Amino acid sequence: MSKHSNTNAANWCGTTILAVHKNGKTVIAGDGQVSIGSTVIKGNAQKVRKLGTSGQVITGFAGATADAMALFERLETKLEQYPTQLARACVELAKDWRTDRYMRRLEAMLIVANSETVLILTGVGDVLEPEHGVAAIGSGGNFAQAAARALFDYEDDAEVIARKAMEIAAEICVYTNSNFTIETLKRDT
């Protein structure tokens, strides 16, 4: 990926990560393509994973892989400190990300979710909760988000929405493939 300032994080290319929260189910889906410029380097990367000891948090990343791995480690530490407070753990990570000299250079964005909440984290200190239960990042994020929003009122299953929306994004965005990793959490009833 090309060099960008973390203030330009929304413009990073190379992936699509989509989160859908509906009817007590939260899904994060990500494609597997890794590109450098116009060259596909790998097609089966896993950019979505479960975090925490109980696996009750899922996250996906767009941006530099090593930077995202560093953020995952920091997020896991925050989740250990605040195990039942996802928003607080994310806010604490965002504060560190903005103020720590090393972390300010990290070039990635994250979508973080549990069975109740979906959040987008950026290196400029944003911790954003989507308004309509759908969030997306990466170069194909706008395509996936638009497709998911269009499907949201017509499909009851969050995973079906995410899968169909990712397929649409993969057909449109040259930096997105159809080799998806999908993680799902269900709210305890």
* Positions marked catalytic: 15
- The alpha-carbon radius of gyration of the chain (Å, integer) is 15
Phi and psi at residue 27, to the nearest 5°: -130, 135
Question: Could you tell me which residues come within 8 angstroms of residue 174 by beta carbon, excluding any fewer than 6 positions away?
Answer: none
Q: What angle do CA 162, 168, 174 make, to 5 degrees?
A: 120
How many C-beta atoms lie closer than 10 Å to residue 105's C-beta? 12
Three-state SS for 101? coil
